[in-house]
Amino acid sequence: MSGAALTGLRILVGLEWLYNVAWKTPPDFGENSGGGLYGFTRAAVEHPVFPPFSWLVEHLVLPNFVLFGWLTLVVETVLAVLLLTGTLVRVAALLGIGQSLAICFSVAEAPNEWPWSYFMLIGIHVVLLCTWSTRYFAVDEVRAQSHLGSGPGAAAALLRTWGIILALLGVAALIASFQTDRWASIGGLVGYEDLEVGLGTYNLAGALAVLVVAACALAGAILRRRELAFAGAVLAGAAAASIYLQSGRTDVWLGGTNTSAAVFLCAALVGAATGPVLDRTPRLGRSAPKLLRRRRY
């Protein structure tokens, strides 16, 4: 399978995790209403797939559900961020296999579910575990190229690509913010809800935040300045933190959901990972030819 096809598969499953973190909403994750994540988790008890797993859910998970809800949110956010940025992809693939199994054991026998969708999700992560899906658009590739002496160029290319994507997202978010109250706590969706495809919700402040982060990324890539990459990473990290701290408790200043926060975390990770490499002096060490030969597969 080609590197481009594997990259596409990695991004596709990353987008799946990205969209689905939106409804894992703190602080209670649906426990008080009986819906949301709590309702899907309880399905493991009401419609058992694997009885030992159902016993664990009933006696360990449900009595400590808020802790479990946070764990689920963290795991699925990490999956989205690592897969979309191409960072530690094989670690993410292992984590994805485990999370997909847990979901399968919870809801595969529930009404209106299609078990094969979870089997395929597990299979996709197995493919990512066993193949090389980071040839393109990946932090892992930047790290590999830095050992070969080509790190600055690879880092600039990745940061520039993310800058362009964030700029386009910012423009789309700006347009979406005017379709609702411009300062609404839940802003306009960038995506298509009926097909469950989305890159988060943003009000006017959220859209402007995305555009500022995009500008930092683009300027950092063009000028090869780590300070600009780091500035964008800090701003993106602060934006994500503000959404997590406010979501489900008070008005969200940036009009975002967990999905929006995960997008900001992607930007923060790319900026933090590429920044240290941007202005290094390119050089090839003695081991470069050997490493180059190893990567030709």
pLDDT score recorded for residue 8: 96
Q: Report, as an integer, the average pLDDT of 256-261.
A: 97
Residue 297, token pair as written in the block:
């597969």
- The Cα 140–Cα 134 span in angstroms is 6
- The interaxial angle of helices 226-246 and 258-278, nearest 10 deg, is 160
Whether 1 shows a pLDDT value over 80: the answer reads no
Q: Report, as an integer, the average pLDDT of 240-264.
A: 95
What Cα–Cα distance (Å) separates residue 274 from each residue in 147, 213, 228, 236, 288?
14, 14, 11, 14, 20
User: At which residue do the structure tokens 């797939």 appear?
Assistant: 49
Whether 251 shows a pLDDT value over 70: the answer reads yes
- The Cα 140–Cα 33 span in angstroms is 42
Q: Report, as an integer, the average pLDDT of 70-93.
A: 98
pLDDT band at 249 (very low <50, low <70, confident <90, very high): confident
Whether 247 shows a pLDDT value over 60: the answer reads yes
pLDDT score recorded for residue 294: 44
